[in-house]
Amino acid sequence: MTTDPSIPTTPAEPIDEGKDIHPLTPEFERLTQAYVQGINSVSRAMTPIHVDEIASRIAKFYEMVRKVVDWKEDNVLRRSAIERALKRTLFPKLSGVIIQSNVDTYRIAYTITADLIRGGHLANDEIPQEAVLTVENALKKYLYILEHAQFPSADLIPIKRKINFATFIIELAACEIEEILTNPVKERTLLQAMTESLTARIRTLPEGSISDEEKKTHTFIASCRTLFDLDDGFILYELIKFTYPGWSAPDAQLLKRLASEIPNLWLTSHHVLEHPISRQLFTISERIDTVFMLLGDVMDQYKEAPQKLAAAISDKTTLTAHLIEAYDKRYVSLKARLLRLAIFSTLSVFLSNWVTFFIIEVPLASWFYEGFNLFTAIIDFVVPTAVMFALVSIIRAPPAENIELVKRAVYQFLYADEKRKLYDVYLKRRRNPVIAAVMGVLYMGMMLGVLGGVGYVFYIAKLPITSVVFDTFTIALTFFAAVLIRNKAKELSVDDRMTVWEFLLDMVSVPIARIGSFLANKWKEYNIIAILFTFLIETPMVVVFDFIESWSQYLKERRSELH
């Protein structure tokens, strides 16, 4: 996990005159203490890992290409790189999705670490060699679970279940490897503070309908999803750590227990992740995550002197100056990232159209004795790309007056003498059945109407019927991606007000984006194709990187002989 803006690490000393001291809430007192302890516990690298600069430059270029294809945020790119490396290195050992015993775990651990440094995800000459051993120990745990996993029941498609479970374990391993190599002190303390602050302010109705522990768990899930846009894999990794205190260094008895219980936990995880209370908590968390995001930027300014953080944020004058500075940088960064996302997402749709056109659409059309002419081919390429460009081009950052709302929200969460705002969450909300039925019919009507309208456009353009269906669902995926980008544009907003234009846009985009979300999730269930693609594409690239690095090292050694 990473923060986007680059903020100086040397803060200005607070001015003695004009101080406005306020007591911190217990949650933020604990945050400042944990931050100091976490920063001070970071050991300096004594035997750093070094990769060749030439190979690193080429690898960074490849990662830039991957970014265009994936167009993911920076805070998930590193973990995605770890997952790709694990899939690539373990693919030969996943023959029949059965882990073989001759896995060189140290080589895999070192390869992953070196790949991250080469790709620019980790700094060169800063990661200690000792970290590779820690990564290796973590890998052994996950390989043991894969090899000895015990599923509670049989499955109609066992190969599909095993592949998806292997992918789940790889996602967990990527989370732990990233944690080992980066030690995200700030992110951990912010998530804890946000979870505790929200839990104390949320009232569940009717009272007693959910336990305090359950409320805290689901508040943590909502905080992860909104504050750092973390996916379900990371959330489950954190919940598993809470469930098994010895997770980081399990003994033989715990390993057997994990191999028995983790498969069932994976199969039932949707009950925790998609609890009825989740949507309401997500909406609340989305409105106040800006508070903790900006406080994280303030914490960055005191990274070199964490003991001064508590005094700085206790002074309202100093805090306000830091907030304005951090907000301005975030605002500029947000506009730049929205532009990048608009460019990358549009490019991604256009480039993926080339792949799907020749690999999927043309063969399907020929099977049904249909084909493409120049006009239909242009329509097939242009319409999805134009839809993505139109949807992302209208996304805007918050208005100028938003900064005042942000400051007020920060004060309310940070200071104990400020008025505390409570949030009500209804576990069993009573709704008028007639109104609920009308809204359901209207929602389905909008979904089918938009989807049918899109399909009709492709149909009257004389595209093959197979491409009409395929491109219509592609548009649904495009709407889903655009809605996700629009959500990112609200990361600095602390209210949920919307304009009439945004309301009308939601009426059209949200129903069809729901279909796109369904298709995206279904694609993940059949991800053997993604694993195979990763192996076939990235393995030659890594061989090239390794050869360049070895050749560069060889030349350096030969040059050192010339004296």
- Let me know how many helices (H) and strands (E) the chain has, helices first: 21, 2
Identify the H or E element spanning 425: strand 423-426
- Each residue's pLDDT tens digit in the chain (563 positions)? 444 444 444 444 444 556 789 999 999 999 999 999 988 876 554 677 766 555 555 555 555 555 544 445 555 778 888 988 888 777 665 555 455 556 788 988 988 998 888 877 788 878 888 899 999 999 999 999 988 888 877 765 677 788 888 889 999 999 999 999 988 999 999 999 999 999 999 999 888 888 999 999 999 999 999 999 888 999 999 999 999 999 999 999 999 999 999 999 999 998 899 888 998 999 999 989 999 999 999 999 999 899 999 999 999 999 999 999 999 999 998 888 788 777 877 887 887 788 788 888 888 888 877 778 888 888 888 888 888 888 888 888 888 889 999 999 999 999 999 999 999 998 877 677 888 888 888 888 888 898 899 899 998 988 988 888 888 988 988 888 888 888 878 888 887 777 777 788 888 888 888 888 887 776 655 554 455 555 455 555 555 555 555 555 545 555 555 55
- Distance (Å, whole) CA 390 – CA 388: 5
Sign of CA dihedral 15, 19, 23, 24: negative
Give residue for tokens 């975030």.
330
Name the amino acid, one letter, at 455.
Answer: G
d(CA 357, CA 471) in angstroms, rounded, equals 10
Other CB atoms within 10 Å distance of the CB of residue 141: 21
Position 70 scores a pLDDT of 47
pLDDT of residue 35: 94
Between strands 423-426 and 202-205, the pairing is: parallel
- Using the 8-state DSSP alphabet, how is residue 360 labeled? I
Q: Distance between alpha carbon 126 and the CA centroid of its chain, in Å? A: 25
Listed residue (387, 379, 380, 377) closest to 346, CA to CA? 387
Which class for 83: exposed (0-12), middle (13-18), buried (19 or more C-beta within 10 A)?
Answer: buried
Note whether 474 and 507 are within 8 A (CB): no
Distance (Å, rounded) from C-alpha 387 to C-alpha 479? 8
Residue 424: beta bridge partners?
203
* Four-point Cα dihedral 197, 200, 205, 211, nearest 10: 100
State the Cα–Cα distance between residues 372 and 357, nearest whole angstrom: 10
Residue type, 246: G
Query: What pLDDT is attached to residue 540?
Result: 56
Q: What is the pLDDT of residue 169?
A: 93
Q: How many CA atoms does the CB half-sphere of 40 hold within 13 Å?
A: 9
Closest by CA to 168, choosing from 145, 138, 186, is 145
166 SS3 class: helix
- Would you state the pLDDT for residue 514? 87
